[in-house]
Structure 1
Amino acid sequence: MSFDSDNDSEDDVCPLCCEELDLSDKNFLPCQCGYRVCIWCWHTIKDHMNGLCPACRNPYSDDPHAFAAVDRDDVIKSEKRKRRLARQHALLHLPLVQRNLVYVVGLPPVAASEEYIRRPEWFGQFGKINKVVANLNQGLPPGDARHGSASAYISFVHREDARACIHSVDGFVLEGRTVKANFGTTKYCNSFLRHLPCNNNECMYLHELGDEEVS
């Protein structure tokens, strides 16, 4: 997923080798027809192939049609932008432990609803719950121990409530099933990484720096 509309432009990639065009390539136009390739591909075509422009089929000259020297400040800005985008991309796919999020499996089927999960005799007893996503595991094969059971992501307002929930629930036997509970993992919200407000009220992703998952 791109973070900048410029990344979606075909002008940012050489059409022959599909490598990203650097600033020198973007200031380089080998043919008057306007078909842009990177400097490396231009040299390869001119010195080792037929020497013709892939678009208009006119021969390349020894001197490019247009070339402008690269400004040092532009190079610095470009490198900073690349590092920023690389960091954003890495953070977007980084699994994180969310200390106020509890993931529970092995619940009875009746618990596959937000209303049931929030009950004070159920998970509501551990503290104020922010969001709940509950699922009934119907698609699993009959031999799977989770078949016919429910699972849930429960987001508590306070971390200590999530910790207390895990301590009390994990390993508890309910209706012949052993319930398993642990901190849930999540990812950063794309809007957060782009320094934009998130307009999705149901967004379960992180909107602040979290704890990295250690595997």
Structure 2
Amino acid sequence: MVNIIWVFLFLTGFIFAAITGNMEAVNEAVFSGAKEAVVICIGLISVLTFWLGIMKIAENAGLLNMVSRLMYPVISKLFPDIPKGHPALGYIVSNMTANMFGLGNAATPMGIKAMKELKKLNNDKDEASRSMITLLAVNTASITLIPTTVIALRIEYDSAAPTEIVMTTILATACSTLGAILIDRYFYYKRMNKGRGIY
């Protein structure tokens, strides 16, 4: 479905440009945009490589397991269906940690692994379990303490104060995470109460 939307947007843009006589501007934007995307990607490689390496070292050193034990009281409240010591917990902690450091690209593989483990717990059903929905909500909202990727982009574009967005980011993502958790719990309890015939 997403591919269809992108094709529709591209075709609409090209047709509109052809009608209004702006094809030259579109061609220039396409090539300059492609060039700029490559420059940005290369600039971000160093940041992502560094933090992915740190995450791998932490995983091999057992730090993620230690962090998962420390975070278990919070995680167990968010994900009560996951048994203690299950591999999904480690992946969830890794995902949340990567998101806290603003590494969305690094968080994605951990989130996918966590979803696979949660699907096994759900007996490989196609319907998402409570924990899978909660993980999706928390991962999407993702509280961010250090927006590493955004700071790297601001440095790339010669920002005078690339780290001035840190406090704003913390406040915004804290609100989004709290909102995601509250909405997740609201619909969960609403569904539970409906099943009991309360609604």
TM-score (norm 1): 0.24
Name the structure with the higher strand share: 1
Whichever of the two has the greater Rg, that structure is 1
